[in-house]
Amino acid sequence: MSDIMTAKDLNLWYDKTHALKNVNITIPEKSITAFIGPSGCGKSTFLKTLNRMNDLIPIVKITGEVCYNGQNIYDSSVDVNELRREIGMVFQKPNPFPMSIYDNIAYGPRTHGIKSKVKLDEIVEQSLRDAAIWDEVKDRLKKNALGMSGGQQQRLCIARALAVKPKILLMDEPTSALDPISTSRIEELAIELKKSYTIVIVTHNMQQAVRISDNTAFFLLGELIEYGETEKLFSQPTDKRTEDYITGRFG
């Protein structure tokens, strides 16, 4: 497996707070990488640096590099919008737009200039199929997306992210607002999707990390403490702090 993303000496400040300290990591292609750690450890913040969502917060300052396919995404020549098309995101709380299911999925492709009705229909169906929700919604594509259940909304958001054909999918605690059944469906979906996409998932549910991820990174107080194969990290952690965390001594 080749590496698709690399962070080098990444530091991030919220105003004066040093929120990420010298993070170095490489993320392999077509795998699931999980970020774990207690609340406020910087895992979500780090996830957002990977597609520059932190740009939207004016007080954030970033140093270091994040390379995607060898290109530093913080380089001034990078088109942020194009970057976010290739590196999609699924948020903690399902956030469908207040539009029809169809328009939600078509939003991304339309944003990037696809106007043909035939092409859009095709993308919408394919994305919904890939997100394993097509059968549930195919008869009500014109209905408002806000009428769906929370679990359905989250799979819709995954479908919406897939519709722009990203290479990487960043998931920020995608199941934390969902019930156990919806959670397991999303987990199954993630494993299915890894065949064609690279997935990075932030979770505070350690069982979830064990169930679905190939590699796991443990963050604490803005530092990347340990990073390696999931099985190994959970069975023989090398760092004392990792061991304390996964055995439930804190967090």
Partner 1 sequence: MLSKKRKAYITAMKTAMYISVGLTAALVIFLVLFVFFKGIPHISRELLFTKPSYTSGRIGILPDVLNTLYIVLATLILVIPLGVGAAIYLTEYAQNKKIVGMIEYAAETLSGIPSIIYGLVGMLFFCQFLGFKTSLLAGSMTLVIMNLPTIMRTTQESLKTVPQSYRDGAFGLGAGKWRVIRTVVLPGCVDGVITGCILSVGRILGESAALLFTAGFAHALNGIVEGLASPGATLTVALYVYAKEQGEFGVAFAIAAILMILTLLINLSAVLVSKHFAKKRKL
Partner 2 sequence: MKKNKIVERAVHGVFLILGLLTLGCVLLITVYLIISGIPAIKEIGLFDFLFGTRWASTAEEPSYGILPFILTSIYGTAGAIVIGVPIGFFSAVYLSKFAAPKIKGFMENAVSLLAGIPSVVYGLVGMLVLVPGIRTLFDIPDGASLAAAIIVLAIMILPSIIKVSMTALEAVPKEYEDASLALGATPVETCFRVSVPAAKSGIAAAVVLGVGRAIGEAMAVMMVSGNVPNMPSLFQSVRFLTTAVASEMSYSSGLQQQALFSIALVLFLFIMLINAVLNFFLKKENC
For residue 177, state whether it binds partner 1 (rule: CB under 8 A): no
Q: In what order do the strands lie in the sheet with 60-68?
A: 17-28, 3-14, 60-68, 71-72
CB of 145 to partner 1, least distance (A): 11
CB 202 within 8 A of CB 218: no
Least distance to partner 1, CB of residue 168, Å: 12
75 binds partner 2 (CB under 8 A): no
Q: Report the site for partner 2 in 77-106 (rule: CB under 8 A).
A: 79, 81-82
What angle (nearest 5°) sits at the alpha carbon of residue 177, between those of residues 174 and 180? 90
Binding mask 100-119 for partner 1 (x = CB under 8 A): -------xx--xx-------
Q: Are 164 and 88 in contact, with CB atoms under 8 Å apart?
A: yes
Binding span for partner 1 by CB under 8 A among 23-31, 86-94, 117-125, 208-216: 86-94
How is residue 34 written in tokens? Answer: 């999980």
**Site membership for partner 1, residue 82 (CB under 8 A):** yes
Q: How far apart are CA 166 and CA 89, in angstroms?
A: 9
The one segment of 20-28, 43-51, 75-83, 198-206 that binds partner 2 by CB under 8 A: 75-83
The residue written with tokens 């190939």 in the block is: 214
Residue 194: name its binding partner from partner 2, partner 1, none (Cβ under 5 to 8 Å by kind).
none
Number of chain positions touching partner 1 (CB under 8 A): 26
The pairing of beta strand 32-36 with beta strand 198-202: parallel
Distance, in Å, from the CA atom of 233 to the CA atom of 51, rounded to the nearest integer, reads 26
Q: Minimum CB separation from partner 1 for residue 46, in Å? A: 16
Question: Which tokens sit at 6?
Answer: 């690399």
CB of 189 to partner 1, least distance (A): 18
Nearer to partner 2, 13 or 107 (CB): 107
Alpha helices in the chain (DSSP H): 43-49, 80-86, 101-111, 117-130, 134-137, 150-162, 180-193, 206-212, 230-235, 240-246
Integer Cα distance of 11 and 65 in angstroms = 9
Q: Report which secondary-structure segment, H or E, holds 65.
A: strand 60-68
For the bound state, the minimum distance from the C-beta of residue 81 to partner 2, rounded and expressed in Å, comes to: 7
Binding residue for partner 1, selected from 5, 44, 54, 88, defined by CB under 8 A: 88
Using CB under 8 A as the criterion, which residues of the chain lie in contact with partner 1 when the complex forms?
51, 53, 56, 58, 81-85, 88-89, 91, 93, 95-98, 107-108, 111-112, 146, 157, 160-161, 164
Using CB under 8 A as the criterion, which residues of the chain lie in contact with partner 2 when the complex forms?
79, 81-82
